[in-house]
Structure 1
Amino acid sequence: MRNKWMIYGMAALLTTAASCKKYLDVEPIGKTILTNVSDYDLFLNSQDLTSSGARELNLLSDDVDVTTIPQTPDRVEDLVYLWANQYTVDTKIPPAFWGKHYGNIYRYNAVLAGIDAAGNGTVRDKRRIKAEALLGRAFEYLYLVNLYGKPYNAATATKDLAVPFMTSVDIAEETPPRSTVADIYDRIIKDINAAIPDLNANNTGNRFRGAATAAYSVLARTYLCMGRYEDAAENARLALGDNPPAIIDYNTITNKSAIPNMAIRPFDLYARYSTNASSREYPTIALLKMFDVNDLRLKLFYENTGDYTYPKRGVANFNPSGAVSNFGTGVEEMKLIIAEAAARGGRLPEALTQVNDIRKCRIKKEVYQPLSSTDAAEVMGFVMRERRLELAFKGLRWIDMRRLDAENKMPAVYRYNANNEVIATLAPHAARYTLQIPLAVLQFNPAMPRNDE
């Protein structure tokens, strides 16, 4: 199989180069000049690498309710929302999800391939830049394995196919075969652990850049996806450190514009924009009713909520404009990972403490009451509800749905048209929980195994 699927990565890299002309020139087609260590360092600041998770991840989830689906949908976002087998038949455009992640992987591979030979830099800087690229690439593969591979199952992960693990920047090379789910997770963990010793301790000056705290946070998410909950919690604690960054208390701000820029937010550990960071989303009425009416998240991030009875679909909306959602990792996610591991391990007071640490910064202080319970199932319910509310529309619900479905904890999900008629169904254990390899990839790699339909 020819490596034509990586053309998308090359095109993206050249686009990056053209947009960053201040520090990066472009040689004739196929080559981008990265000469000195400072060039590579600046390249890691490129606009393309500050975005990762696709906004369309939200559209896959059960949190979104689109009431404007046409009778014959043909837009990519509509087909994503309906869990279509393919999202476009146009093989000339980078495919949804796949194209962005492999474009970024190509960029990180370019750094890894060239940094050792770069001039005018210290060995320490070269090692740091290489470590940041390893972390960035691992983060991209974590999305890919959770899109195109089955949910992690220790009994089948060595057989379940995921995606090709690409390390080359030579588009003439053959496409590697699809690695297994186990292989991809092993590489993610190996690369992050290899990166940690050479990373800066933190990234407080620029949350988009790699650091040890960021690396531990990505490891925490990785282990959570694998069902290794205690390992996830251990790395979440390492990400938070002995003096965890403070969660912003919504009682202390009047509007979302008071929330700091993502690059310097104390509570974001590894910052990433989505591919359409300011998009409005229309939540299901069921999700809206999960919020307490005194929850300040409703006031700050949701519009047209009225008297909180939500009599009509498609009116209230989530609008992150002014405080863009982080599709990377953050303090709240780490606390929720610790809480979930504690709840699953029967350490209910620990789980409640983590959840209440978040809630007291989200509920109006004059009515806030901490959650309490000695019932394990109830506490787990508190944790998962808070995870859903706090991380809403940050691209994680689809990944959570996949792992919950693997535990037989996901009901059927339905899509409705404007007349409340069912137009699509995602049944428990449906094959569509694993996305199909895009047609644009299969066109150049016809022998690549397909996923189940």
Structure 2
Amino acid sequence: MKNIINIIWLTLLITTSCKDFLDEKPRKGLVIPEDLDQLSSLLLKETESLQDPMWGEISTDDYYLSEEDFAAKEENFRNAYSWAENNVFGKETVNDWLLHYRFIYYCNTVIEKLKEITPTNSEKAKWDRLMGEALFYRGKFHYDIAIIWANAYSNTKENITLGIPLRLNTNFNEISFRSSLNDTYSQILSDLEMSKQYLPETSFHVTRPSKLASRAMLSRIYLSMGNYEKSLAEALACLKVKSDIIDFNKINGGLAYPIPAFNNEIILHSYMLISLRNIYVNKDIIASFKDGDLRKSIFFSSDVSLKTNFKGSYYGRATLFSGLAVNEVYLTAAECSARIGNEDEAKYFLKKLIENRYKEGTIPAIEKMDKKELILFILSERRKELIFRGTRWGDVKRLNNENYAITMKREVGNFILPPNSPKFNLPIPQSIIDLSGISQNPR
């Protein structure tokens, strides 16, 4: 493992094209991982492989801070929370952008080295799994960056619309540039589709990717692109293998963290490192949980000042779960079915979820809803069910792309983010712009 860590410094070069910076030569004795065990170790870095970017979630409107708590937050948090005009990340050099591209470098290292290894019969399953995992993570991490730092995908946008830099090899001398949005999503989909050729159907633990995880991720991405047919197809393929849903009637809402970690709904475990201390849920969201909705007591608790805290993470404690799970797949299947005109199928998938979220006798009547009513109800259930799961930022971007005109507001501070504002694309950290010279997002 010590030898493997020696390559980490190289990853700091992946976003730069500055000549002086690249004049530094690799130091003597640099050891690159060569065998399957060493390559596996690169993909087992829990703090990076399981850690999702948090700045999209920090920028959402599901919570608020008091004036005192806002003033006490770090500058980058305050900037993201208030949708500031200036450089959100200040002079910070370690951020989601850098950490994700660093792990993409690990993935590229694994992919390139695996192509040089001819596995024995006994090694073939491990070789396949590692190739599948590297392709999965490279596709997923590029998408995680794109959903925060690039426009929502649209078939109507010209190919010149900027996406993100695509890093597909370990050549740190290769100049970085922002690919088009179309090319960005084409590469993301290609990696995830290809990962299915190598991954096992299910993994030995939900902290490792599988075909199931690839399908769930593809379903999420196709939904974000407005490709409802393909999103539905991937969702259905997921549900054929795994359809477990937790019955919230059997959950003790009085516990500090009622939902256990690694529960039966989880397809792929990951998380965001956001502290929930002094973060309060917006009152309009709390009001949307009607009588009989079990999530109100399982997801939330109130302090002595009657401010509402979130406690419903699938992590089993204060850390925010942001991975892939069956409940999201059901919601995606319901929405996509409704959008392509299969209302009966949409109601079937939706009922699978809500029957396990409401007390008996209080389940909302959806049988007579028309297509428009049904889609709006599914979207309201999606916001409630997936609160603090890292999906809200991308959902608002793609819905505003479809003229839903969602305005984000803060209860404290009078901060407003209008629909389709350029601020929905976070500014690329200035440290990255200074090194690489790539185009900055307008604010």
Shorter chain as normaliser: what TM range? 0.7 to 0.9
- Counterpart amino acid of 1:64? Y
Q: What is the correspondence of 1:278-293 to structure 2 with a 5 Å cutoff?
A: 281-293=279-291
- Counterpart amino acid of 1:409? Y
Summarize deviations over 1:377-432 as a string: whole Å, max 9, x none.
Answer: 21111100111011110110000000111122133222243xxx51x221122110
Partner of 1:294: 292
Partner of 2:3: none
- Distance in 2 of aligned mates of 1:296 and 1:289: 13
The alpha carbon displacement at 1:325 in A equals 4.3
Partner of 2:163: 162
Say if 1:359 and 1:31 are closer, same or farther in 2 by CA, change over 3 A. farther
Summarize deviations over 1:336-393 as a string: whole Å, max 9, x none.
Answer: 1111111112222221221121111111235435533232221111100111011110
Summarize deviations over 1:140-189 as a string: whole Å, max 9, x none.
Answer: 11111112211111122511111110123343x13321011110110111
Q: CA RMSD in A?
A: 2.9
Tell me the SS of whatever aligns to 1:162.
coil
- Counterpart amino acid of 1:166? R
Tell me the SS of whatever aligns to 1:340.
helix
Summarize deviations over 1:106-127 as a string: whole Å, max 9, x none.
Answer: 2212221223345986234223
Say if 1:383 and 1:116 are closer, same or farther in 2 by CA, change over 3 A. same
- Distance in 2 of aligned mates of 1:378 and 1:348: 11
Summarize deviations over 1:293-331 as a string: whole Å, max 9, x none.
Answer: 32222222211079xxxx96xx10113373554312111
Partner of 2:419: 428
Say if 1:443 and 1:7 are closer, same or farther in 2 by CA, change over 3 A. farther
Whether 2:309 is the aligned partner of 1:317: answer: yes
Partner of 2:23: none
Whether 2:363 is the aligned partner of 1:368: answer: yes
Partner of 1:227: 226
Tell me the SS of whatever aligns to 2:164.
strand
- Distance in 2 of aligned mates of 1:126 and 1:300: 42
Partner of 1:18: none
Partner of 2:66: 67
Partner of 2:151: 150
Q: What is the correspondence of 1:22-421 to structure 2 with a 5 Å cutoff?
A: 31=30, 33-68=32-67, 70=70, 75-85=75-85, 86-91=87-92, 93-95=93-95, 97-117=96-116, 122-171=123-172, 173-203=173-203, 205-241=204-240, 243-254=241-252, 255=255, 259-262=259-262, 265-276=263-274, 281-304=279-302, 315-319=307-311, 320=313, 322-323=316-317, 325-365=320-360, 367-417=362-412
Summarize deviations over 1:250-274 as a string: whole Å, max 9, x none.
Answer: 1112247564433xx3311222122
Moved more, 276-285 or 161-170: 276-285
The alpha carbon displacement at 1:284 in A equals 0.9
Tell me the SS of whatever aligns to 2:272.
coil
Summarize deviations over 1:25-70 as a string: whole Å, max 9, x none.
Answer: xx97894653321232343222124423223322211212222354
Tell me the SS of whatever aligns to 2:267.
strand
Q: Is the 8 A contact 1:37 1:120 kept in 2?
A: no
Aligned residues: 417
Q: Is the 8 A contact 2:65 2:278 kept in 1?
A: no
Q: Is the 8 A contact 2:273 2:320 kept in 1?
A: no
- Distance in 2 of aligned mates of 1:157 and 1:189: 19
Q: Is the 8 A contact 1:10 1:30 kept in 2?
A: no
Q: Is the 8 A contact 2:165 2:176 kept in 1?
A: yes
Q: Is the 8 A contact 1:152 1:181 kept in 2?
A: yes
- Alignment TM-score, normalising by the size of structure 1: 0.84
- Distance in 1 of aligned mates of 2:404 and 2:303: 29
Whether 2:436 is the aligned partner of 1:437: answer: no
Say if 1:361 and 1:32 are closer, same or farther in 2 by CA, change over 3 A. farther
Partner of 2:439: 449
Partner of 1:16: none
Say if 1:51 and 1:291 are closer, same or farther in 2 by CA, change over 3 A. same
Partner of 2:19: none
Say if 1:261 and 1:444 are closer, same or farther in 2 by CA, change over 3 A. same
Q: Is the 8 A contact 1:9 1:99 kept in 2?
A: no
Q: Is the 8 A contact 1:360 1:370 kept in 2?
A: no
The answer for unaligned runs of 5 or more in structure 2 is 1-6, 15-25
- Distance in 2 of aligned mates of 1:344 and 1:67: 39
Say if 1:301 and 1:177 are closer, same or farther in 2 by CA, change over 3 A. same
Q: Is the 8 A contact 1:109 1:133 kept in 2?
A: yes
Tell me the SS of whatever aligns to 1:197.
coil
Q: Is the 8 A contact 1:94 1:440 kept in 2?
A: no
Say if 1:83 and 1:165 are closer, same or farther in 2 by CA, change over 3 A. same
Partner of 2:4: none
Identity %: 24
- Counterpart amino acid of 2:349? Q
Q: Is the 8 A contact 2:50 2:207 kept in 1?
A: no
